[in-house]
C-alpha cells in the first residue's frame, strides 16, 4: 500500500504572515488570476503557480521552497488581484523566514555582506563611489545653498553603463539652473537590494540609519536615478520618521519643464519606444512623467509597444532577481525586445538602471541589430546641447 507523505502545517508561520500582511494574506480565495498574470508563464513550459504558493502560505507549508526566489515583484498580479492581496510582500515575508532557517540560494549572503562592508551590493570599494563624477565638479550638498540632493544610488555610482545616466542628469539639472549637490563618498546604500531579498531586520537597520543621515544633512527634497531607490524612500522610509520628499528624476524633470526652467532647444530625430519600469509604473503609478519628457523633445517620435503602462511586461530585474541567475530562454527582457522591434523604433527608452541592464543583455543575447537601449535622461541631454551630450566614462 502506497504511503502518502505527512504534511504538518506550521501555525506559527501562518500567524506571523497574517500579522505581517495585516490580514491581507487571508483574503486570497484561490481564483488563480495571479498565476495567469505572472510573466513566468510566458517563458516557461510549466507556469509558476503563484496561486499554489499563496495557498501553501495560508496553511504554513512553505519551509525552504525554492520558488520563493522567482518573484520579480513586478506587481502585475497585484494590480489584477480582485482581493488586493500584496503578493510580493508575502513573498518577502517568506524570504525573511528562509533567511532565519538559512535556506537561501547560494551567493545571496555575499550581496548582503557587500552592503555591510562596502556600502553597496556591487562588491566595489566605498572610495570609488564618486568616480562617475570625477571631472564634473559636483558639489557636496549644503542645505544653505542647495535646493535639492541628488541621490545617485549604488548602481549609477558603480555600474559603468549606468554612470552615463548620472552624468546626463547632472547636465540636465545644470541646464535648468537647479542648485544641487550630492553626499559624495558618504552617500549610503538605500537598502533596496536587502529588502528585495527578504532580510527585513537588516533593511530596517539601514533605513533607520539613513533617515538620520538625511535629517542631519538637512535634506528636504531629493531625486533618485533608480525607481528602486525611489520606491523604498517613498513607501518604506516614512515609518522611520524620514521627513524628506523623494522624487524619481523623471518626475522632477517633468516639473522643471512645466515651470519653464528646463527647455529643449535641439532636435533629436529618433523613433523611440518607452519601456515602463515596474517600480516606477505599477508599484508607484508614475507613467506620464517619462512620456512628457520624451514628448517635449523636438524631432522625437514616440511609439508605444503592444503592452505599455499598467500592462507593460517586466524586464525581470526586480524583486532581487538582479542578484540571481536567470537561464537563457527564460528572460522576460527577451520578450520586451521582440515587442520593441515590432514598433520599428530605433531606441528602447527606459528610466531604470536595472531595466537598462536587462534589456541590453537581451539585445546582445538575441544578436539584435538596429536598435539600442537608452535612458530617458540620456535622450533628454541630447536635446540641450548643439553637440549632444557628453556621456563618456
Cell numbers linked to 147 = 535646493
Residue-wise pLDDT for 3-61, tens only, equals 555 556 677 777 877 787 778 888 888 999 999 999 999 998 887 889 988 888 887 77
Give the CB-side neighbour count of residue 67, counting CA atoms within 13 A.
Answer: 17
Q: Which helix (H) or strand (E) holds 223?
A: strand 221-224
Higher per-residue confidence, 70 vs 391 = 70
Fold match between 11-100 and 108-256?
A: no
Residue 145 has pLDDT above 70, yes or no: yes
Q: Which helix (H) or strand (E) holds 246?
A: strand 245-248
Domain at 108-256, CATH class = alpha beta
Cβ atoms of 122 and 155 closer than 8 Å: yes
CB atoms within 10 A of CB 240: 15
Q: Which helix (H) or strand (E) holds 374?
A: strand 372-375
What percent of the chain clears pLDDT 90, i.e. is strictly above it? Answer: 77
Per-domain residue ranges for the chain? Answer: 11-100, 108-256, 263-382
Q: What are the CA-CA distances from residue 370 to residues 143, 367, 373 (Å)?
A: 45, 10, 11
- CA 342 – CA 292 distance, rounded (Å): 23
Residue-wise pLDDT for 205-237, tens only, equals 999 999 999 999 999 999 999 999 999 999 999
| CA 314 to centroid of chain Cα atoms | 11
Residue with cell 507556469: 47
Q: What is the pLDDT of residue 388?
A: 47
Angle between helix axes 50-58 and 87-100 (nearest 10 degrees) is 60
Q: Which helix (H) or strand (E) holds 292?
A: helix 288-295
CATH of segment(s) 11-100: 1.10.1060.10
The torsion defined by the Cα of 160, 165, 170 and 176, in degrees rounded to 10, comes to 170
Cβ atoms of 383 and 297 closer than 8 Å: yes
Compute the average pLDDT of residues 125-131.
Answer: 96
Residue 126 has pLDDT above 60, yes or no: yes
Residue-wise pLDDT for 243-295, tens only, equals 999 999 999 999 999 999 999 999 999 999 999 999 999 999 999 999 999 99
Domain at 263-382, CATH class = alpha beta
Amino acid at each position: 500500500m502506497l504511503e502518502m507523505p505527512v504534511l504538518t502545517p506550521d501555525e506559527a508561520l501562518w500567524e506571523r504572515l497574517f500579522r505581517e500582511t495585516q490580514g491581507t494574506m487571508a483574503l486570497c480565495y484561490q481564483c488563480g488570476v495571479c498565476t495567469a498574470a505572472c510573466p513566468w508563464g510566458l517563458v516557461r513550459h510549466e507556469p509558476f503557480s503563484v496561486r499554489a504558493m499563496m495557498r501553501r502560505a495560508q496553511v504554513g507549508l512553505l519551509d525552504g521552497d525554492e520558488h520563493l526566489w522567482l518573484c520579480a515583484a513586478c506587481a502585475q498580479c497585484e494590480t489584477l488581484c480582485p482581493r488586493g492581496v500584496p503578493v510580493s510582500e508575502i513573498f518577502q515575508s517568506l524570504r525573511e523566514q528562509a533567511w532565519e532557517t538559512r535556506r537561501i540560494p547560494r551567493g545571496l549572503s555575499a550581496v548582503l555582506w557587500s552592503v555591510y562592508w562596502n556600502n553597496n551590493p556591487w562588491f566595489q570599494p566605498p572610495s570609488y563611489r564618486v568616480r562617475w563624477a570625477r571631472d564634473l565638479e559636483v558639489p557636496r550638498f549644503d542645505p544653505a545653498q542647495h535646493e535639492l540632493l541628488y541621490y545617485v544610488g549604488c548602481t549609477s555610482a558603480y555600474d559603468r553603463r549606468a554612470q552615463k545616466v548620472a552624468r546626463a542628469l547632472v547636465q540636465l539639472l545644470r541646464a535648468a539652473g537647479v542648485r544641487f549637490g550630492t553626499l559624495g563618498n558618504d552617500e549610503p546604500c538605500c537598502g533596496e537590494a536587502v529588502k528585495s531579498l527578504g532580510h527585513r531586520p537588516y533593511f530596517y537597520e539601514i533605513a533607520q540609519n539613513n533617515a538620520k543621515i538625511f535629517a542631519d544633512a538637512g535634506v528636504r527634497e531629493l531625486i533618485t536615478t533608480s525607481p528602486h531607490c525611489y520606491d523604498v524612500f517613498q513607501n518604506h522610509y516614512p515609518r522611520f520618521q524620514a521627513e524628506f520628499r523623494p522624487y524619481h528624476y523623471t518626475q522632477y524633470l517633468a516639473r522643471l519643464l512645466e515651470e519653464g526652467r528646463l527647455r529643449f532647444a535641439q532636435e533629436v530625430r529618433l523613433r523611440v519606444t518607452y519601456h515602463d519600469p515596474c517600480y516606477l509604473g505599477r508599484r508607484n503609478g508614475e507613467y506620464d512623467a517619462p512620456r512628457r519628457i520624451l514628448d517635449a523633445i523636438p524631432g522625437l517620435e514616440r511609439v508605444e509597444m503592444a503592452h505599455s503602462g499598467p500592462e507593460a511586461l517586466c524586464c525581470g530585474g526586480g524583486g532581487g532577481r538582479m542578484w540571481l541567475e536567470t537561464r537563457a530562454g527564460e528572460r522576460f527582457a527577451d520578450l520586451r525586445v521582440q515587442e520593441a522591434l515590432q514598433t520599428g523604433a530605433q531606441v528602447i527608452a527606459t528610466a531604470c538602471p536595472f531595466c537598462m541592464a536587462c534589456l541590453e543583455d537581451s539585445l546582445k543575447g538575441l544578436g539584435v541589430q538596429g536598435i539600442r537601449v537608452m535612458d530617458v535622461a540620456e535622450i533628454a541631454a541630447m536635446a540641450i546641447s548643439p553637440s549632444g551630450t557628453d556621456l563618456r566614462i
